[in-house]
Chains A and B, each alone.
Chain A
Amino acid sequence: GENVGLHLPTLSVQEGDNSIINCAYSNSASDYFIWYKQESGKGPQFIIDIRSNMDKRQGQRVTVLLNKTVKHLSLQIAATQPGDSAVYFCAENIETSYDKVIFGPGTSLSVIP
């Protein structure tokens, strides 16, 4: 069935270090993946996305890696800042399900000043 899960529910990193948030998915039909950031009291904010025909995509201070062989997705944040503290969700989408997006349970990232 469709399932998106995260290995680590919480992550604490020192300011300036790099952060890596991992995500596992079980549906091999998923072909579009999105990372969202959600701060307390706000809606999820789009960070970066990647389609299944790519292995890596870079944005501003963020990189998403996709390993389809083991159904694994990761979000790397370079030079983590206090403003990066939030809950991060990976989400998957299957083309045949239009825009039905399945979210994982989330990882809470805490940045230590």
Chain B
Amino acid sequence: DAGVTQSPTHLIKTRGQQVTLRCSPKSGHDTVSWYQQALGQGPQFIFQYYEEEERQRGNFPDRFSGHQFPNYSSELNVNALLLGDSALYLCASSSPYREAQYFGPGTRLLVL
């Protein structure tokens, strides 16, 4: 049983560019959440997708957007990249029963 998978593992972009990160949830999970983790800090909640709609959103600008597909996989898009967007982006999936979220390995984004 595959856990949460994310792609790519690493990415380098320049300021002003756009990036798309991908996530496949754990089997049996239908909810996907995205987090940003800066070096030395805890993950910060970006948003959550359920039934292909954004259900919850953290304190992130509209440059951060997402999508969930019918197979529950999800994408995180970030437009007009800033140097401060450099971080580890984590995807987590969960079941409909309000149990713990399971995290993927993350995508490390470096903005130059």
Q: What is the chain A residue whose CB lies nearest that of B56?
A: A100
Within 8 Å CB of A103, what residues of B? 35, 42-44
Query: How many angstroms between the C-alpha atoms of A98 and B94 in the bound complex?
Result: 11
The reply to whether the CB of B68 lies closer than 8 angstroms to some CB of chain A is: no
Let me know if A95 and B98 touch, CB within 8 A: yes
Let me know if B45 and A32 touch, CB within 8 A: no
Which of B44, B48, B90, B103 contacts A99, CB < 8 Å? B48
Which of B4, B56, B58 contacts A98, CB < 8 Å? B56
Number of interface residues of B (CB under 8 A): 26
Q: Mark A70-108, 1 if CB is under 8 A from B, else 0.
A: 000000000000000000010101010111111111100
The reply to whether the CB of B31 lies closer than 8 angstroms to some CB of chain A is: yes
Known A-B contacts A44-B90, A49-B100; the reply to A99 vs B106 at CB < 8 A is: no
Q: Mark B41-69, 1 if CB is under 8 A from A, else 0.
A: 11111001010000110100000000000
Query: How many angstroms between the C-alpha atoms of A89 and B41 in the bound complex?
Result: 10
Shortest distance between the CB of A10 and any CB in chain B (Å) = 12
Let me know if B104 and A43 touch, CB within 8 A: yes
A-contacting residues, B14-50, CB 8 Å: 31, 33, 35, 41-45, 48, 50
Let me know if A101 and B41 touch, CB within 8 A: no
Query: How many angstroms between the C-alpha atoms of A106 and B58 in the bound complex?
Result: 19
Within 8 Å CB of B31, what residues of A? 99
Let me know if A98 and B104 touch, CB within 8 A: no
Let me know if B42 and A99 touch, CB within 8 A: no
Shortest distance between the CB of B11 and any CB in chain A (Å) = 15
Within 8 Å CB of B106, what residues of A? 42-43
Within 8 Å CB of B90, what residues of A? 43-44
Which of B50, B55, B102, B105 contacts A46, CB < 8 Å? B102
Q: Which B residues form the contact surface with A (CB < 8 A)?
A: 4, 31, 33, 35, 41-45, 48, 50, 55-56, 58, 90, 92, 94, 98-106
